[in-house]
Structure 1
Amino acid sequence: MHGGIRHAGEYMCFSIYDVTVPVMLQGLAVMDDYLDHAQKLERSNCLDPGSVLTAKLAPGMLTFGEQFAVNCNKVELHLTKLMNRGWPTPRIVAMIYPALRGRLLETRGFLQTIQPVELMSAQTNTYQLTPSVARGWFGGNDYIRHVVLADFFFHIAVANAILRHLGAAVGKKDHLGHLTPYGSGDYS
């Protein structure tokens, strides 16, 4: 590579690990920041402590707090499925800030234990999905791209939308998280 330009025929390959674990760690950090925004919103608007956690966009949708608990459970479910491990038991989390922060921390800890080799065969496997969202068998690539990642970001986006709906000053920059140029790659 010369001057940040790739020559014809030169491709950068991402592993399943690369497109799941670091991405999810970043997304969970964003969700942790959203808890800060929620508490700041409660303080600045003289709302009852924890009231943002019970807010939702529409009837039948999960509350702001439930977005966190469900997303953490799904991260563990999807990743254990990709590693061909037994299914984890979903955790029930109290809808209070310390418990939700603790659950985010546990989930980050789980992700940090995953080694790239554990996800190497994930693309070549097939995965069965049952309702409520989709039904049937999906190849690894489709499951990862269209279910795992889409599901993960859905809950982050809904949490963002609830905060914005309530008047919090959050936007795309908050949704993207703490990006650093020249992260782990060589862009020279």
Structure 2
Amino acid sequence: MTVSLYDVSVPVFTRMLTNLLSIMDKAEANATERKFDSAVLANGRLAPDMIPFRGQIMIATDHVKGCVSRLAGHDIPSWPDTEETFDQLRARIQKAIDLLATTKRQDFADSDTRQVTLKLGGNDVTMSGLDYLNQRALPNFYFHVTTAYAILRANGVPIGKRDYIG
């Protein structure tokens, strides 16, 4: 079987977003147990100048929808970045998972050589689909999912590597 960019993106995104939902469940349960509002976690940061947890979720899901849409040659759906609560963030993650579920392997035909143009630093940068996935989409996705995990962990949520990897 030939491996397509579908095989190294859609299942990876789906698994990591599903794991993120489980981590959020543990975080909310921990907040309840410790008797504080999970909104504290939604707005948590690792540093004062850093994007909060909720922003990490928004950006991670933006990379998912952008990546699969670009590689499949589809329009990128527009989602407003208005989520503030854990329930709203979960719904956004689920929306991304649902988008992944509707993306078909055949949509990725020739996606490794499809030209993807991004606006980076105010300039248009064009690269192959393979370079886009490996050099932009996956690293950015993992950065934001890892940062979201780290924010929760730094706030005392009892999660570990198994929770992250699934």
Same fold? TM cut 0.5: yes
Contact 2:38 2:86 in 1 (8 A): no
Contact 2:71 2:108 in 1 (8 A): yes
Q: What is the distance in 2 between the residues matched to 1:106 and 1:77? A: 13
**Could you say what secondary structure the match of 1:15 adopts?**
coil
Q: What is the distance in 2 between the residues matched to 1:47 and 1:95? A: 16
Instruction: Give the alignment partner of residue 24 of structure 2, picking from 10, 13, 35.
Output: 35
Which structure has more RCO (C-alpha within 8 Å, separation ≥ 6)? 2
1:15 aligns with 2:23: no
Contact 2:60 2:144 in 1 (8 A): yes
* Residue 47 (structure 1) aligns with: 36
Contact 1:76 1:88 in 2 (8 A): yes
* Residue 106 (structure 1) aligns with: 95
Contact 2:19 2:163 in 1 (8 A): yes
Contact 1:31 1:68 in 2 (8 A): no
Q: Percent identity?
A: 27
Larger Rg: 1
Q: What is the distance in 1 between the residues matched to 2:83 and 2:107? A: 31
- Cα shift at 1:134: 8.9
**Could you say what secondary structure the match of 2:153 adopts?**
helix
* Residue 148 (structure 1) aligns with: 137
**Could you say what secondary structure the match of 1:19 adopts?**
coil
Q: What is the distance in 2 between the residues matched to 1:53 and 1:94? A: 9
Q: Tell me whether 159-168 or 125-134 shows the greater mean CA deviation.
A: 125-134
- Cα shift at 1:86: 2.0
Cα distance change on mapping 1:59 and 1:112 into 2, 3 Å: same
Instruction: For residues 128-148 of structure 1, give each alpha carbon's deviation from its aligned partner in whole angstroms, at most 9, with x where no partner exists.
Output: 222259962222211111111
**Could you say what secondary structure the match of 2:35 adopts?**
coil
**Could you say what secondary structure the match of 2:15 adopts?**
helix
* Residue 82 (structure 1) aligns with: 71
Contact 1:34 1:159 in 2 (8 A): no
Cα distance change on mapping 1:63 and 1:86 into 2, 3 Å: same
Aligned length: 166
**Could you say what secondary structure the match of 2:126 adopts?**
strand
- Cα shift at 1:63: 0.8
Q: What is the distance in 1 between the residues matched to 2:143 and 2:49? A: 15
Cα distance change on mapping 1:128 and 1:70 into 2, 3 Å: same
Q: What is the distance in 1 between the residues matched to 2:98 and 2:15? A: 13
- Cα shift at 1:13: 4.2
- Cα shift at 1:43: 1.9
